[in-house]
Structure 1
Amino acid sequence: MMSEDKKTFDIKQAEMKINQHLSQNYYYYWREWPYKNVAPKIMIEEYMTDFRDGEFDDYKFMCFSGVADNVMVCTGRREGNTKFRFFDKDWNFKRYNISGLNEPEGYTMDKPECIDRMFEIAESLAQDFPCVRVDLYYANHKIYFGELTFFPQAGYDSQLLDSTDEIWGDKIVLRKV
């Protein structure tokens, strides 16, 4: 893992990792056609942390025809114990993945103060697509854009339940495409 401290940051290790990524065509891993003819580039962003606890959660909104149906809240990445929990717009816990089956009856988490605004942003970004995942972050009382993902886990998320695939598949409308 790279150091977060600029004084101990290993530039040589970072260069090796960058060069490795630049030499790969990600299309060949999972055959996601939009990546086939994309020239590899490296984007370097400002290092972010949250003043509360040094970590921030990320929020992945599954959107269908411009409607944000649910959000996957990803917690615990920093300590290597990532949890993925799904909630609908009313902040009801959804058992969409294997680990969701293990949560106790009535499970919930604190609803983030900005979640309604994040649902709005996700829907605004998803308007032109039959299915897209909109990734957002919330740190230091600000919402940040992550990415639009058209093939989450390249369509091979083995943690999702078969029933989730059916629920989401029923929401995809291709008439307008």
Structure 2
Amino acid sequence: MEKMRADARRNRAKVLAAAEEAFAVDGLSVPLDDIARLAGVGAGTVYRHFPSKEALFQAVVLDRIQQFADEARELAAAEDPGGVFFDYFVRVVRQASLNRAICDALAESGGHAFKAGAGEEFRAALAELLARAQAAGAVRPDLDGDDLRALIVGCLAGERYAPGSRHLLRVVVDGMKPAAAAT
């Protein structure tokens, strides 16, 4: 695979950032010309990197899930594995809840995000944070990675149906703690 020039990489990153913002607000109805304008590039630049709006949409979702995975890997060696795990879990739910595309991608088990590998990296990195938090006694030992994914999806549904109900997320977080630690 040929390496992209530095300016092409910058333009691609600007398009992805603009598209994430636009898709979060307007979904797939946003015109590509609007995304190009928001990114400060021409429409031709968008089409050079992404042959269709659907390809751009998919790239935005994969990019965000990859960012989640990268962040989790960076946190894997942090002190206070329990605090790090719970802070990360809440941050993922809050960030994902702002973007329906990300919510849908995390909810689907066989979709493009997970076939492409980013979802699997996210699951593995999240499972590592979970294992460290469990070893530290901060998270109940009967949870696994599939349970976490289900809890994230459930929290995202809660955000969708009861926006701003931060107490629901706290209930889930408390439920992940060992009985003696739940507050």
Q: TM-score, normalised by structure 2?
A: 0.27
Higher strand share: 1
Higher helix share: 2
Q: TM-score, normalised by structure 1?
A: 0.28
